[in-house]
Amino acid sequence: MSAEATSPESGKILVIDDNRVIQRSVYFTLRDGGYKVLMAGDISEALKIIRSGKVDLVLVDLSFPLDAGNINGPLQDGFFVINWIQHTAEIKKCPVIIISSTDPSEYRERALAAGVKDCFQKPLDKEKLLASVRSILGR
């Protein structure tokens, strides 16, 4: 599922999560906060969106179902996306927020080392998420 909402205010945010309930929740929170929201349900879709245009912020889950088309390839999880962003010239400075059901204490050190700006555990506190997004995007 890929969806986009437009807003007169600035900020294009990509939400990468395979859970449609989380997608919709984050979509409406960010859209109502004045942001343009793009959504991707898997990593390959997310990479296509990132390549196709400017993204100001990425929110990414850490866990995704195995991709049958990627057998014997690299593990594709949220950290794969973060690493890819860091090594792609057009977007390498794009900030990232992790949204995961995993307790942040289990990955916080790795996330900070990777330059992640914030980490949220599901279920998400929408007000804190929106405050973090505003802080990161300078609004």
Of the given ranges (31-45, 47-61, 66-80), which has the lowest mean pLDDT? 66-80
Domain ranges in the chain? 4-137
Angle at Cα 18 formed by Cα 16 and Cα 23, nearest 5°?
65
Residues 6+ apart with CB under 8 A from 105: none
Residue 42's CB is within 10 A of a number of other CB atoms, namely: 15
Domain 4-137 falls in which CATH fold?
A: Rossmann fold (3.40.50)
Angle at Cα 17 formed by Cα 97 and Cα 127, nearest 5°?
50
Hey, is 77 helix, strand or coil? coil
**Contact between 84 and 44 (Cβ < 8 Å):** no
**Tokens representing 88?**
């792609």
**Contact between 34 and 7 (Cβ < 8 Å):** yes
Residue 64 binned pLDDT confidence (cut-offs 50, 70, 90): low
Q: Judging by DSSP bridges, how do beta strands 4-5 and 36-40 pair with one another? A: antiparallel
Residue 59 host element (H or E):
strand 57-60
Angle at Cα 134 formed by Cα 133 and Cα 135, nearest 5°?
90
Q: What pLDDT does residue 131 have?
A: 97
Give this prediction's pTM: 0.83
- Tell me the mean pLDDT in the region 2-28: 78
- Residue 41: is its pLDDT beyond 80? yes
Q: What pLDDT does residue 8 have?
A: 40
**Contact between 76 and 67 (Cβ < 8 Å):** yes
